[in-house]
Amino acid sequence: MHNFWTIFGIWMAAFLTLAIFSFLYKDNPFYKFAEHLYVGTSAGYMLIYTYFLTIKPMLIDPITQQNQWILLIPAFFGIIMLTRWFPKIAWLSRWSIAFTVGIGTGLGITGSIQGLLVPQIKGTLIALHGWNGATLNNFLIVVGVIATLTYFYFSKEHRGFVGKTAKLGITYIMIAFGASFGYTVMARISLLIGRMYFLFHTWIPLIK
């Protein structure tokens, strides 16, 4: 037998789900209420998450328990970033923003090279000998990489063999975009199925 709070939670979840679905008809107060509640709850959750998993273990605990006073320097830069809310001293936030942009750019470049560029290069260094399904797949990958890179090569006019290769690259790009869009649609449908299953299994037990 479910207790009161379990039943209350199920009905509240069902109400919010239907309130979100009501936007399919038109914009209405129920949808706005659910939307604002979701945004507010997410903001509150992220605030608590940031404090307990970032600020406390990486700033407060090291200072109070390990006397790592050097951490007051990044804490200072983090605090003055909030001065953008005050026009008279908003210029102080430029220091923090400059450090953040510089460090973020450096980490982004190295991360992209090590996490994206190098693995992609390694992924094209594959065998093309033999006659089997794997070889055909490798051949399609190599041809696709070369054709796609040719499409983005603008130092030579896309005519003749180069133009045909570039058109083949467009085909590969469209296939990649289509697959990405398909995965997105599948993810959204999966979420829809989950909410419908909740409504007709947990809230109104029509599905066993």
**pLDDT per position as a tens digit, 83-111:** 988 888 989 999 999 999 999 999 999 98
pLDDT of the residue at 116 = 85
On whether both 95 and 23 belong to a single domain, the answer is no
pLDDT of the residue at 16 = 94
pLDDT > 90? residue 38: yes
On whether both 136 and 165 belong to a single domain, the answer is yes
pLDDT of the residue at 208 = 67
Number of structural domains (the chain) is 3
Domain C-terminal end among 22, 37, 67: 67
Query: Mean pLDDT, to the nearest integer, of 55-66?
Result: 91
Query: Mean pLDDT, to the nearest integer, of 127-153?
Result: 84
On whether both 90 and 46 belong to a single domain, the answer is no
pLDDT > 90? residue 173: yes
Q: Is the pTM of this model over 0.85?
A: no
CA distances from 71 to 51, 60, 61, 62, 102 (A): 16, 9, 11, 8, 19
Positive or negative: CA dihedral 197, 199, 201, 206: negative
Domain extent for 17: 1-67
